[in-house]
Chain A
Amino acid sequence: MKELLTQLNPAFDHRNRLGIMSVLAVNDWVEYNTLKELLNLTDGNLASHLKPLEANEYIIVRKQFVGRKPQTTYAATEAGKAAFKTHLDALEELLKISRDDD
């Protein structure tokens, strides 16, 4: 049980960060505005949750111009996807154990 708890990644401790990783795990590149809509977040909120993920190198940012508009897109790195998977596995195991206890 304790071992499992250490596998829960503090970087994914917040539901919004989990949400960002869920979307990026199954999509190649996702636009900032799409993320905002999917997660129902404000600009400030989304940016504050993207920053730590970026600092951990779990996600990468790409800024480019589409026509004249700047477009910011995000993708999960291999390390990010692996960490996310470990986190999910640990979550699932935890739930399984507690269900057996009931």
Chain B
Amino acid sequence: MSNNDQHLEHLAEIRALMERSTRFLSLSGLSGVWAGVCALVGVAAVYAYLEIPILAALGGSFYFDKAINTNKWGMDYKSVFVLIAILVLAAALAGGWFFTARKARLRGERVWDATSRRLLTALAIPLAAGGVFCLALLYRGYLSLLAPCTLIFYGLALVNGGKFTLRDVETLGILQIILGLLGVFYPGYGLEIWALGFGFLHIFYGLWMYYKYDTRRTVHG
């Protein structure tokens, strides 16, 4: 019987090692929550710039129709959209890094190792392609496709990266893709769907993952 226990122990250890050596497990749920908050602030900024009343969101804000005729704060809509996007991205990444590095420290693991490099590469390729594609959309004036396409490419990046980190990331990616595709069919709701995906879904998923992984793991050191 003790032999059996030994075998069981071996199998459990094998499984853990395979997982630990291929997946970056220090990704913090709080990184997701923070990204969601940044996204919502970004949407609020767009609403403010376009002077869309919050309640209009219920009927779809048709942000692209309003954008073309808006010139405020000394900037046209293209500069404002790019500026807000860069600020949101920078804030989300900086905060995301902070929470994830903190979790790695608590777990006694390194943030920068083979698994995190693999995860970042998997994320970066669809994201870079999507980023350039969306810049082209903006440049060519296909504004109505902008919000849904960022969701689709981001979702693809998550599905790709999900293979190298906590599995939930993959499901989050699929949901983002579905929202993005919906946005292509209902462009009037593009900004609201974007807020739903980048904002609320991130916060919801982040909290869920935080309670599922972070709280338990940190207790055990």
Question: Chain A interface (Cβ within 8 Å of chain B)?
Answer: 15, 18-19, 22-23, 25-27, 30-31, 34, 38-39, 88, 91-92, 94-95, 98
Contact = CB atoms under 8 A, between A and B. Distances in A.
A25 B22 CA distance: 10
B20 A26 contact: no
B106 to A, nearest CB: 17
Nearest to A29: B114
A98 B11 contact: no
A29 to B, nearest CB: 10
Interface residues of B, number: 16
B14 A26 contact: no
B113 A19 contact: no
A94 B7 CA distance: 9
B4 A91 contact: no
Nearest to B9: A15
B75 interface: no
Contact of A22 (B7, B9, B17, B113): B17
Contacts of A88: 11, 14
Nearest to B17: A22
Contacts of A30: 21, 114
B54 interface: no
Given A34-B113, A34-B114, A98-B4, A23 B17 contact: yes
Contacts of B21: 22-23, 26-27, 30, 34, 38
Given A27-B21, A34-B114, A22 B8 contact: no
Interface string B6-26: 011111011001101110000
A95 B17 contact: no
A95 B11 contact: yes
Nearest to B1: A98
B17 A91 contact: no
B122 to A, nearest CB: 15
Nearest to A94: B7
Given A19-B14, A25-B18, A27-B22, 7 more contacts: A19-B13, A19-B17, A26-B21, A27-B21, A30-B21, A38-B20, A38-B21
